[in-house]
Amino acid sequence: MKLVTFANQDGQRLGALVEDQLLDLAAANPVPAFASMQALIDAGPQAWDAARATIGKADASALRALADVSILAPLPQPVRLRDCSLMLEHMEIVLEQMARRAAAEEGDPEAAYDRLIASGKYHLNPTFKKQCVYYNADHTSVSGTGVDILWPSYSDYIDFELEWACVIGRPARDVSRERAREHIFGYTILNDWSARDVQMPLMYTMNGPGEGKDFPGSWGLGPCIATPDEMEDPYDLVMTATINGEQWTRGNTGSMYHKFEDAIAQFSREKTILPGEVLGSGTVLGGCGFELGRSLSAGDTVELEVEKIGILRNRVVRAH
């Protein structure tokens, strides 16, 4: 299933993508579990099977043209949103870029760069390989596909991050890695919008990115949640970032150092992970402008695509 949250004249509703149309699930089968994406997730596997059966019938009276609805973030306000560092190649390149930028301010940039790298300050902390590291993202600042991202006035470095995410479907407590996949409801695309000129100074405070990743719409999710049956192997999906029609990034979900199953097993130790929680992967190699030595401009259209899931498309704008 490719499940979406959409809006029409009747408000927010739960739908499923059926070829080039959308099936209004509650219109096709008005049961409580189809009231919203969170209601469906909470209702459990029997309700998920019922959704599949309803989609299979695809009642013509409940089909809607995509042009007649607005696709929202599949979970407009997740129960919780953690952005994890499960992809580490990106981080190693970012650290090198940070050293380059710091060295550029010195009289002999190359010598300064060599000195900074030799200091070990810009090496990846070994903790990232020992365990799944994360920070709590603002689950109230989620945006969906097709909407403009209004860039904050206090930032001049506009950037994106190409990630994907899993959505928890069943409560998980003290789950083994071997059973962890049973708790995944589905997968979606995540765009970790980043105000780099705000984020970088804050990172040196050792308190996280703060307002550099915390502004209205700064966490893009969508366009759908694809359930596991949509893909043969979730860790072999092509990931691309295309800016104004130019492909900047091409990667693969299989490049994760830690898998979502590792994160679920770790985070559920002596604690319950709840249905509707979202775990971000971290950024794929080459998946942001900072890593590539580039940045976005107002008016740019960013398309993040993950095979078998779809395209998360947004335009960046400035306030007038």
Residue 186 to residue 237: CA distance in whole angstroms: 14
CB 23 within 8 A of CB 58: yes
Q: Are residues 280 and 165 in contact, defined by beta-carbon separation less than 8 angstroms? A: yes
User: Distances in Å between the alpha carbon of 142 and those of 25, 145, 202, 213, 216?
Assistant: 23, 10, 22, 11, 7
Write out pLDDT tens, residues 153-212: 999 999 999 999 999 999 999 999 999 999 999 999 999 999 888 876 756 666 667 777
178 SS3 class: helix
Rounded to two decimals, the pTM is 0.94
- Per-domain residue ranges of the chain: 2-72, 80-88+124-317
SS3 content of the chain, % helix, strand, coil (to 5): 30, 30, 35
Q: Are strands 310-317 and 148-150 parallel, antiparallel or unpaired?
A: parallel
Report the candidate in 2, 7, 5, 29 with the shortest Cα–Cα distance to residue 17. Answer: 2
Count of Cβ atoms closer than 10 Å to residue 76 Cβ: 18
Regarding predicted confidence, which is higher, 232 or 198?
A: 232
**What's the whole-number average pLDDT of the chain?**
92
Question: 80-88+124-317: CATH homologous superfamily?
Answer: Fumarylacetoacetase-like, C-terminal domain (3.90.850.10)
Tell which CATH architecture fits domain 2-72: Roll (2.30)
The answer to whether the CB of 151 falls within 8 A of the CB of 317 is: yes
